[in-house]
Amino acid sequence: MTEIGMRPHLLLLTTPSSYRLPAFLDAAGRIGVKITVAEDTPPALSRPLPGRLLIDFSDRAAALQAIRNLHANQPLSAILPVDDSGVELAALACADIGLPFNRPEAAAAARDKHLMRQLFARAGVPSPAFRLCTTADDLPALVQTVTFPCVVKPLRLNGSRGVIRADNPAQCLAAIRRLTALLDRIEGAGVHEFLIEDFVPGFEVALEGLIDHGQVRVLALFDKPDPLDGPFFEETIYVTPSRLPEATQAAICAVTAAAARAVGLERGPLHAELRINERGPWMIELANRSIGGLCSRTLRFGTDASLEELILRQAAGLPVDTLSREGQAGGVMMIPIPQAGILRAVDGVAEACAISGIEAVEITAPLNYPLTPLPEGDSYLGFIFARGSDPATVEAALRAAHACLRFTIVPAIELVPATVSM
């Protein structure tokens, strides 16, 4: 596998704004696999780029033909979705050209929260009670029939985008209308489906794993020490290893494995979100991709392998030396956007970096560009990374570093066409 002509050739499906892609490209360079990047691009913006395939993921027929043509000229060893947007296309393309991956039906369920909920319910996986609704329903009447507190949730957005808790009918109606406006902007005006779920109280965790022949191999379990009780669900701190009791951690792993089986996932990365209360773990969502943002930097395996290296090795059929993480505790803080506006300045980064245990502070939001917080937004101000002797030390370092940061955000001025009086 070390000869150039024998290198595995992987196609990565991603988006132009992906946080994850650079880490996958770095990992590919370290393990010596050839990469072609397929970028979700509207036809009007498509153009030839070396090493990149610019295709419209929503035009399935054209996208599959482009992948067939690539495979005919440069045979592929695997197709891997870097982001949620490529999960279904990867499964369809692999089925089309005969590469191992998840069945298209399983990939669709990993993307569509209603399909996912139905499969969980059928398999007896603990998850919130739900109902499928549409924006064309009689909404004032609908909200009178809801059990509160509830969560209004889009079917296909990720990163808690569009997810809103409501505690009474008025809040529920306002949440639906807010979600409708968001979906109109993203998908175009029309009738949209959405879920109303029971709110599950409890402590939230995230599980990172690799699925191998249908078996979930757990890589890390992250605690989320900040409460996620709404009305919006912006994630902040992830810390690993988990401080939960061993029996609780084992139950979390068992529920995650049952959820992956229910959906039908057979291989590839797994990111799962669960809540734990007195009744045990509840599966909130799972995805057939790795952890979001830059958060994977928190994880190192064996002598110094990244999460992306493990994922690429599995996809390419290369040996994976170890799934054991290095000894230290690690954590990341996704810096939340406190308000809408234009980011003018960021101060205190040097002070934050000087905090004991802080490895890096990366501000990813560009200056002089608008910021949009949740539930409409889909990004963060940046990321803080820490490492230490134990999870409590890591969490304290992240909070101290965040307290050093100061963001200058000014109101955005909406421009309107000028009128000329004659």
For 236-274, give the DSSP string.
Answer: -EEEES--S-HHHHHHHHHHHHHHHHHHT--EEEEEEEE
**pLDDT score of 419:** 60
- Dihedrals phi, psi of 407, to nearest 5 degrees: -115, 130
**What gap in Å lies between CA 327 and CA 276, rounded to an integer?**
26
Q: What SS3 class is residue 221?
A: strand
| Residues of the chain where predicted confidence (pLDDT) is lower than 70 | 1-5, 46, 48, 303, 414-422
Q: Are 53 and 39 in contact (CB under 8 A)?
A: yes
- Would you state the pLDDT for residue 395? 98
Say what the pLDDT of residue 414 is: 62
Beta strands in 124-169 (DSSP E): 130-134, 150-154, 164-166
Of 229, 246, 248, 228, residue with least CA distance to 238: 228
Using the Cα atoms of residue 247, residue 253, residue 258 and residue 262 in order, give the sign of their dihedral: positive
Q: For 371-386, write each residue's pLDDT tens digit.
A: 999 999 988 999 999 9
* pLDDT score of 78: 97
What does the alpha-carbon distance between residue 20 and residue 14 come to, in Å, rounded to a whole number? 9
93, two tokens: 């393309």
Question: Rounded CA gap, 191 and 179, in Å?
Answer: 12
Instruction: Report the pLDDT value the prediction gives residue 415, as an integer from 0 to 100.
Output: 57
pLDDT for residue 4: 44
Query: Tell me, what's the pLDDT at 420?
Result: 56
pLDDT, tens digit (0-9, with 9 covering 90-100), for 151-200:
999 999 988 999 999 999 999 999 999 999 999 999 999 999 999 999 99
Length of the chain: 422
Question: What is residue 2's predicted lDDT score, i.e. its pLDDT?
Answer: 40
pLDDT of residue 416: 56
Reduced to 3 states, what is the DSSP secondary structure of residue 12? strand
| CA separation for the pair 225, 218 (Å, rounded) | 20
**DSSP-assigned beta bridge partners for residue 218:** 209
Can you give the pLDDT at residue 303? 65
